[in-house]
Chains A and B, each alone.
Chain A
Amino acid sequence: MEFIEAVFQYEFLQKALLTSIMVGIICGVIGCFIILRGMALMGDAISHAVLPGVAISYMLGINFFFGAVFSGVLTAIAIGFVSQNSRIKHDTSIGIMFTAAFAAGIIIITLLKSSTDLYHILFGNVLAVRSSDMWITMGIGLVVLAAVYLFYKELLVTSFDETMGAAYGLPVRMIHYFLMTLLTMVTVASLQTVGIVLVVAMLITPAAAAYLLTDRLSIMIFLAAGIGVISSITGLYFSFTYNLASGAAIVLAATALFILVFLFSPKHGLLWKMLKVRKKRASLV
């Protein structure tokens, strides 16, 4: 109750709430495609890879959005290039490239001599969201949601059966990089809320929980967004009330929801499956 009063009272909390709700939605939506394409590690990589871009943007005094998208997409291309042109496997290539980008980012930031910035970028601090940050998140969110809505067909085909898409003439490579661009934008939008290090959790955990709840992608997307939003609000509540790190609180809220679903999901939950096995065995006695 106090939390709700505080939301009405404090503008900074309103901004934090709106921003983290939007982050919950877009992370959930994009996360569905990321996990269905088996790209969870790629999500982790791209989110880390925005660091040098953000750092350089600070240095040049431009909006960090541009630098982040640039370094994120560049890393995605580098990962693809190495794995396609050598015997190096995709996950190895991811490991090489994103740590390189991340390390470069750290060096650049230490050159800036402002460690508070680094801390905020890495771990987020949603209670310190400024109006401009909130509007960036809202803008990015709308662009991402519109993109998924408009290209839903193409994203669905290429996630399910890429070869079919290629056979009827879809530019599957381009769609991959398009999704990587969306992923980078989502990461940037989430910087203030959960930070670079934990973005991947918001991408994967709500989507994974949704995956256990339904057998239809369209429903999975809405569920993932919903679970993302609930995690954001719950996390923000705990963060505000008990003075915890906002990103970590939100992520743990998502994890708690995932565990609930993992155990109690009607069709794919552990408990349900165990009951079914027991029933079957009992019937055979």
Chain B
Amino acid sequence: MHHPAISIKDLHVSYYGNEAVKGISLSVQPGNLIGIIGPNGAGKSTFLKAVLNLIPKDKGTIHLFGSSIQEARRKIAYVPQRNDIDWDFPITVLDAVLLGTYPNLKLFRRPGKKEKIWALECLDRVGMKDFSKRQIGELSGGQQQRVFLARALAQKADMFFLDEPFVGVDVSSEETIVKILKELCWHGKTVVVVHHDLSKAEEYFDQLILLNKELVDFGPVSEVFRTETIAKAYQGQFAFMKEIGV
């Protein structure tokens, strides 16, 4: 029997009694590129973090590939929001990507030649091999995001979670990132992206999770991306809607 990549039942999350995520149930099949969209404060990042058990939940069950998160951890790669990172940290691009090999290294083991070659391959894939010796703060926003994608690739994960990967990223980096995410899905990986920009959503994703604390809609992009559903989530921010031509 095939397990869904992600299966969530009745997920509730709150901060000091204020509900941020209310009763979300959904299940996602492997090989899909999924966008989480919704207005500011809709709990998109909270939802993502709760799914990965990085913050405590009030209620609900989550299974990844039919097993608990603790059992599935090694199959997950997570890319944080850009402003969660200290870009002055004394670490080079190559060393940052090498962190991606850590989950598969045994305790007390250091990354060796094999891991370095693999990390360089991952950097090559995102077009950042020539920058391997730079300190991460010396890169542009788009380059930094590509390095973090390379780190996720280095994890050899089955599931990728990216929190707002296109914020502060130039157009060509965004294209590179999207291309790689789509390739991952063709190879049967599951990719979940928190996304703030509605204009590209239709182009990028196979499925959308439309959130506004509650699950407003979930399904194939063509079904979710309709004026009335989007309007329901964004609760009448119509000026904005017209602008992007929904």
- Is B108's CB under 8 angstroms from A150's CB? yes
Asked if B91 is at the interface (CB within 8 A of a chain A CB), the reply is: yes
Selected from A152, A160, A164, A214, the residue in CB contact (under 8 A) with B78 is: A164
Alpha-carbon separation in the docked complex, A168 to B105 (Å)? 12
- Is B76's CB under 8 angstroms from A163's CB? no
CB distance from B17 to the nearest CB of A (A): 13
Asked if B240 is at the interface (CB within 8 A of a chain A CB), the reply is: no
Asked if A82 is at the interface (CB within 8 A of a chain B CB), the reply is: no
CB distance from A262 to the nearest CB of B (A): 15
CB distance from B93 to the nearest CB of A (A): 10
Binary A-proximity of B208-236 (CB < 8 A = 1, otherwise 0)? 00000000000000000000000000000
Asked if A275 is at the interface (CB within 8 A of a chain B CB), the reply is: no
- Is A167's CB under 8 angstroms from B76's CB? yes
Residue tally, chain B, CB below 8 Å to A: 29
Interface-forming stretch among B6-14, B95-103, B167-175, B189-197? B95-103
Q: Which residues of A are found within 8 Å of B78, using beta-carbon distances?
A: 163-164, 167-168
Binary A-proximity of B73-114 (CB < 8 A = 1, otherwise 0)? 110111010001110011110011001001101001110000
Asked if A220 is at the interface (CB within 8 A of a chain B CB), the reply is: yes
Selected from A159, A166, A167, A216, the residue in CB contact (under 8 A) with B95 is: A216
- Is A153's CB under 8 angstroms from B110's CB? yes
Query: Do A169 and B102 form a contact, CB below 8 Å, given A163-B78, A216-B90?
Result: no
Asked if A156 is at the interface (CB within 8 A of a chain B CB), the reply is: yes
Q: In the A-B complex, list the 9 residue pairs whose CB atoms are closest, starting with the nearest.
A: A169-B73, A167-B78, A215-B135, A168-B103, A217-B90, A163-B80, A215-B90, A220-B90, A160-B89
Contact residues of A with B, CB < 8 Å?
A: 36, 38, 150, 152-153, 156-157, 159-161, 163-164, 166-169, 211, 214-217, 219-220
Contact residues of B with A, CB < 8 Å?
A: 52, 54, 70, 73-74, 76-78, 80, 84-86, 89-92, 95-96, 99, 102-103, 105, 108-110, 135, 151, 155, 161
Instruction: Write 24 A-B pairs (CB below 8 A) sorted by A numbering.
Output: A36-B86, A152-B110, A156-B91, A156-B99, A157-B102, A159-B89, A160-B89, A161-B84, A161-B85, A161-B99, A163-B78, A163-B84, A164-B78, A167-B77, A167-B78, A168-B74, A168-B78, A168-B103, A168-B155, A169-B103, A215-B91, A216-B92, A216-B95, A217-B91
